[in-house]
Every structure is written in structure tokens, then in C-alpha cells.
A = this chain, B = another copy of it.
Amino acid sequence: MGRSIATIKDVAREAGVSISTVSSVVNGNKPVSEDLAARVRDAVQRLNFQPNHMARSLHAKRTQTLAYLTPDITNVAFLRTFKAIEATAHARGYSVFLLGTDGSVKTTEEAIDRVIGLRMDGAFFTMSWALAQTELRLHRLADRGIAMVGVSGSYNLPEIDCFLRDEEGGGYQVGDYLARLGHRNILCVGPLSSRAADMRWGGLRTALAAGAGEAKLTMAATEGYTAGAAYDAMQAAIGARAGFSAVVAFNDAIASGALAALADNGIEIPAGVSFVSFGDAHMDFHRPQITSVTFDEEGIAALAANRLIDRIEGIVTAPPAHERLPLKLSIRPSSRRIDS
């Protein structure tokens, strides 16, 4: 146990060469005679040498670490994004920290402090509401030359690359679909004061207006994004006899709470009511399967990761791009045609 870790110096001594020669061999960036190179490789092997990352970073002023900030590390969609980001990052030699913000400004600030403190090279942001509140302080990162990109979420920050979802388009697809099935009274369950919600419900409303003369949209507002809140909101809506033939849930967590409330009231899907969700592919095994708006998390993640690293490494210097990636409506048996 006492055996201390081998340094480049130890390797140099062991191989009988200078430390700069060792460095050249290890990094393979400077020509070295085969003879010495072999001896160095040998010594590295014997001593189990691994370059000290701290020393390297200190010199390079780069740490090869990134951060992924997201409001809820428990949300499967974000996790899938993280995983994909990590894969790309690892492939390019970067490690990434998963930092939860709990959707609170304070925790977000702490996370940002951490990014700065650890001198991370870049950060991915889930473009959520709390983040937008923090926006003003994001310059702290920019000032220090820390690269940033936005993923998922709905807020577009003009200063940075953003790879977001076409929420409006997604909402439109849902509305269009429901309208075609003959639905005229739709209950939306989800948070009220969220940009994402505005866009989703907005798209929905547009489609309804276009496709189905008279249509009514009722809101069942949840406090926050939890299944519990959705359960309560749904119970309230049922109690109020809101009179709806279809329910649209803001996301899978919301969906699962709403579905539970529906079940507890003996309302069956799709017989009693049709159900659609903005899904995180969380509920593949729910029965009946839920029609939902899905998204290529992995694709967007790879895009974002490569862009961030390209910025860091100076490969891309163009002005920030703002992309809205398409959502797809996966139709499953949770909705049915009704007679008007």
C-alpha cells in the first residue's frame, strides 16, 4: 500500500532517459529512436505509469472535463441524453459530470460554481425555466471562456448553440391527430408557467383551430413536474366534471400520475377517455400503451456533444446555431375515434 504512484521522473530513471523523452514517447508527438522508445515503453509497463491528469491540465489549461446540467437527474429522458453525451465525450477524450439543478436557481448557481471551480472546459445546459432565470449569471462562464451548448428544453439562448426540440410541431401533431379522431374537448395536464408548456399547448391549439371548428382546451395545472402533482391535478379535473374526451399529458411523469388518478376513478383508457403524452419512452410497458410524442434523445445528444467539443477545440468558430429538431408522434392504442 505504501508504494507511491510512479511519475514521469521514475519512468525516466528506470529507462535511463530524460523525462522529455518519456513525454515524447507517451504522447507520441515527437520522433524518438526505436531503441529508447522501447525502453521507455518497458519502464512504463513495469512501473504501471499513468500520466498525472492534474499536472497535464495545469499546463494545458484544459481539464478535459465537461458538465451536464439538468433539472432532474431522475428523469429518464435526461438520463438517456446524458448517457449519449457521455459516450461521445468519452470517445473524444472527455469526462462528464452529471449535475442536477433541481430546477432551482440556487442549486443551479452552485452547479455553475462547481463548473468554474473544477475548471471544466464546457457545459451542457438543459434549457429550462430555472436556467433562464440564471441566464444573467451565465456570463460568468462565458467570461472564463467556458464553452456552452443548450440541449433539450425549450429556451433558446441567443449567445450559445442550442439543440432543442420542436415543441410546437409536437403539439401540433397531437392536436391534429386528436382532431381527426373527432375530439373536441381536451384536457391538458401539466405545469402552467413553463415555456415548454406554452409551446406544446400552443401547437396543440393551432392544430385544433385548423382542423376542428369548435374545440375546447381545458388546463389542469400541476405544481411542478411530479407524478404526485399530476395525480392531484387530474383528481381535481375529474371532480370538477370538466367534460373531456381526451387527456394530453405534459410528459411521462405527469402521465403516470394522471393515469393513476384516472384508474382510481374507474375511467378506462381508451374506452372512457383517450390519452396522449409527451413521452420520454419511459412507459413502453404500460398497458395500454400510450400514444406519445417521442424524440431522438441520442441523436440530439451526439450533435450537442460534438458541437461543444468542437468549440472547445476551436474546430468550430461560426456564430451560435439554433436548431429545433423534429418530434415524432408514435401512435399506440390509448386513443380512439369518437363520434361527434
A5 to chain B, nearest CB (A): 6
Inter-chain contact A74/B76, CB cutoff 8 Å? yes
**A48–B116 Cα gap in the complex (Å)?**
11
**A1–B327 Cα gap in the complex (Å)?**
36
Type the 1/0 row for A212-228, where 1 means its CB is closer than 8 Å to any CB of B: 00000000000000010
Contacts of A63 in B (CB 8 A): 54
**Residue in B57, B96, B98, B144 whose beta carbon sits within 8 Å of that of A54 in the complex:** B57
Question: Among A9-17, A27-35, A257-265, which stretch is in contact with chain B?
Answer: A257-265
A126 to chain B, nearest CB (A): 16
**Residue in B58, B73, B227, B257 whose beta carbon sits within 8 Å of that of A58 in the complex:** B58
Does A201 lie at the interface of the complex (its beta carbon under 8 Å from any beta carbon of B)?
no
Type the 1/0 row for A88-107, where 1 means its CB is closer than 8 Å to any CB of B: 00100001111010000000
Question: Among A36-44, A166-174, A235-243, A284-292, which stretch is in contact with chain B?
Answer: A284-292
Inter-chain contact A95/B74, CB cutoff 8 Å? no
Inter-chain contact A50/B260, CB cutoff 8 Å? no
**A100–B116 Cα gap in the complex (Å)?**
25
Does A339 lie at the interface of the complex (its beta carbon under 8 Å from any beta carbon of B)?
no
Q: Which residue of B lies closest to A98 (CB)?
A: B98
Inter-chain contact B58/A54, CB cutoff 8 Å? yes
Does A80 lie at the interface of the complex (its beta carbon under 8 Å from any beta carbon of B)?
yes
Please, could you name 18 A-B residue pairs with CB atoms under 8 Å apart, sorted by A? A1-B143, A1-B145, A5-B144, A5-B145, A52-B58, A53-B118, A54-B54, A74-B80, A82-B98, A86-B100, A90-B110, A95-B97, A95-B118, A97-B98, A256-B286, A259-B285, A260-B286, A260-B287
Does A319 lie at the interface of the complex (its beta carbon under 8 Å from any beta carbon of B)?
no
**A54–B65 Cα gap in the complex (Å)?**
12
**A227–B35 Cα gap in the complex (Å)?**
55
A107 to chain B, nearest CB (A): 10
A110 to chain B, nearest CB (A): 8
Q: Which residue of B lies closest to A288 (CB)?
A: B263
Inter-chain contact A263/B284, CB cutoff 8 Å? no
Q: Which residue of B lies closest to A262 (CB)?
A: B287
Type the 1/0 row for A136-149, where 1 means its CB is closer than 8 Å to any CB of B: 00001011110000
Type the 1/0 row for A67-90, where 1 means its CB is closer than 8 Å to any CB of B: 000000110100110110010001
A56 to chain B, nearest CB (A): 9
Contacts of A118 in B (CB 8 A): 53, 65, 95
Does A231 lie at the interface of the complex (its beta carbon under 8 Å from any beta carbon of B)?
yes
A66 to chain B, nearest CB (A): 11
